[in-house]
Amino acid sequence: MTKYREILRLKGLGFSERNIALSVPCSRNTVSKVLKCAKERGISWPLSDSTTDGDLEKLLSPSAPAVTSKRMPDFAYIRKELLKNGVSKKLLWTEYMEDCRQAGDEPLMYSQFCYYIQQDENKRRATMHINRKPAEQVEVDWAGDTAELIDPYTGETVPVYIFVGVMTYSQYAYVEAFSDEKQQSWIDAHVHMYEYFGGVAKILVPDNCKTAVIHNGGWKDQRINTVYHEMAEHYGTAIIPARVRTPKDKPNAESTVGNISTWITAALRKEQFFTIAELNAAIRVKLEEFNNRPFQKKEGCRYELFRDEELPLLAPLPAARYELAEWKQATVQFNYHISVDGMLYSIPYEYIGKKVDVRITGTVIEVFHNQNRIASHRRLYGRKNQYSTVTEHMPKDHQHYLEWNGDRFRNWAERIGENTAKVIDAVLRSKRVEQQSYRACMGLLKLADKYSPAKLEEACKAALSYTPGPSYKSISNMLAASKAEGSDTTDSTVRNNNNTHGITRGAGYYRRTKS
Is residue 178 in some structural domain? yes
In this structure, are strands 326-331 and 343-346 parallel, antiparallel, or unpaired? unpaired
Non-local (6+) Cβ contacts of 95 within 8 A are none
Global pTM value: 0.50
pLDDT single digits (tens) 226-254: 788 888 999 999 988 875 545 444 555 45
Residue range 63-86: mean pLDDT, rounded: 73
Write down the mean pLDDT value for the chain.
Answer: 81
Q: How large a percentage of the chain has pLDDT more than 70?
A: 82
Judgement on whether residues 162 and 289 belong to the same structural domain of the protein: yes
Q: String of b and e for 349-359 (b: at least 16 CB within 10 Å)?
A: bebeeeebbbb
Asked if 165 and 303 sit in the same domain, the reply is: yes
131 assigned to some structural domain: no
**Phi, psi (deg, nearest 5) at residue 278:** -65, -45
Give the highest mean pLDDT range of 132-136, 427-431, 481-485, 498-502. 427-431
Residue 384 sits in the same domain as residue 429: no
Q: Average pLDDT for residues 297-325, to the nearest whole number? A: 89
Question: Based on the domain organization, do 45 and 80 belong to the same domain?
Answer: no
Beta bridge partners of 327: 359
Q: Are residues 153 and 269 in the same domain?
A: yes
Full domain range(s) for residue 348: 326-395
Residue 201 domain-assigned (yes or no):
yes
What percentage of the chain reaches a pLDDT higher than 90? 28
In a domain, 514, yes or no: no
Same domain, 211 and 277: yes
Task: Write out pLDDT tens, residues 364-413.
Answer: 899 999 889 999 999 888 788 888 888 888 887 666 556 667 888 999 99
How many other β-carbons are positioned within 10 Å of the β-carbon of residue 238? 23
Query: 291 and 187, same structural domain?
Result: yes
Which whole number is the average pLDDT over 95-109? 90
Same domain for 273 and 147: yes
